[in-house]
Amino acid sequence: MKKYVYLVGAGAGDIDLLTLQAVNILKQADVILIDALVNEDIYQFCKSDVIKVNVGKRKGKHLKNQDEINALLIDYANKYDVVVRLKGGTPFVFGRGYEEVTALKKANFEPVIISGVSATTSVPEAFMIPLVDRNFNDSYRTITGHNMSKFNSIITNYHDRENLIIMMAIHNLKDIVNSLLQKNYPKDLPLAILSKGTTKEQSKIISTLEDISEKNEEFFLSVRELTPAIIFVGKTVSVSE
C-alpha cells in the first residue's frame, strides 16, 4: 500500500483563508516543509512536537533549491507517517508543485493535493478590485514578472478587455511598465501595486502606467520593500477608487 505525502496550499496570507481540509491535515502532521511567505500563525493548528523545516525561496535567498526540497520530502516521508509540504497560495500556481509530485511518484509515494486560496485572485479581491467586470473586461491574464525575456515573449500586445496580473515582479516594475508602454498599452491605464494582500499590513499604490514610468530610481527602490506584492494592470483598478 502506498504512503501519502500532502502538498497543501496555505493561501495568500490570512490564516482564515486556510481550507478546512488543510487545517485537518495540519493537525496530523509530523513534519512540515514550509515556504518563506507562509504565515507562521498556521502553527497553532499543528501538534506541539511537529518538525518545522523552512525551505523558503526568496529573490536571491534560496535556503534550499528545488532538488534539495524534493530529496527532503522523500527522506522525511521514509521516516514519518504524515509529511506536509506547505506552500504559499495553492500548489500548482507558480509553486513548482508538480515537480514535487513527480519526484514523490518516482519514489513510490502517493501525492495528495490540498488546494489553497490563490493570491492571484484573493489579493485583488482584498482590495475590492474585480478581476472581471462586464463593464470593463471579459478576461484576465496571470503571469510572473521575474524574467523579462519570458514576460516579453508572452505579453506581446494590448488587449482592450483584459486585465493583467503580474506576480513576483516588483523588482522589475520599471522594466515591466516600459515594456507595456512600448506594446501600446494606454498611458492612462490604471496600475495598482498590491502589497501583503489579505494581511493586516496590506497596502496599495494606485497610479497609471505613464505616472509610474516617470518615477525616479528612489521610488523603484522603495517599492521593493513592499514585497510580497502583486502588480495589477487594467481598467477595473479604477473601480476600487
Q: What is the DSSP letter of 92?
A: T
pLDDT of residue 204: 97
CA dihedral sign, ordered 157, 160, 162, 163: positive
The CATH homologous superfamily to which domain 120-240 belongs is: Tetrapyrrole methylase, C-terminal domain (3.30.950.10)
pLDDT at position 59 is 62
CA angle 180, 186, 192 (to 5 degrees): 70
Least confident interval from 24-28, 52-56, 126-130, 219-223: 52-56
Provide CATH 3.40.1010.10 ranges for the chain: 3-117
| Segments of the chain assigned to CATH 3.30.950.10 | 120-240
Write the pLDDT tens digit of every residue in 2-59. Answer: 799 999 999 998 999 999 999 999 999 999 999 988 888 999 999 999 999 999 866 6
The residues carrying an active-site annotation are 35, 57
Q: Which three cell numbers stand for residue 200?
A: 493586516
The per-residue pLDDT for range 170-183, each reduced to its tens digit, is 999 999 999 999 99
Closest CA to 66 of 79, 55, 80, 54: 55
CA-nearest of 79, 81, 73, 82 to 55 is: 73
* CATH fold label, 3-117: Cobalt-precorrin-4 Transmethylase; domain 1 (3.40.1010)
pLDDT tens readout for residues 81-99: 999 999 999 999 998 899 9
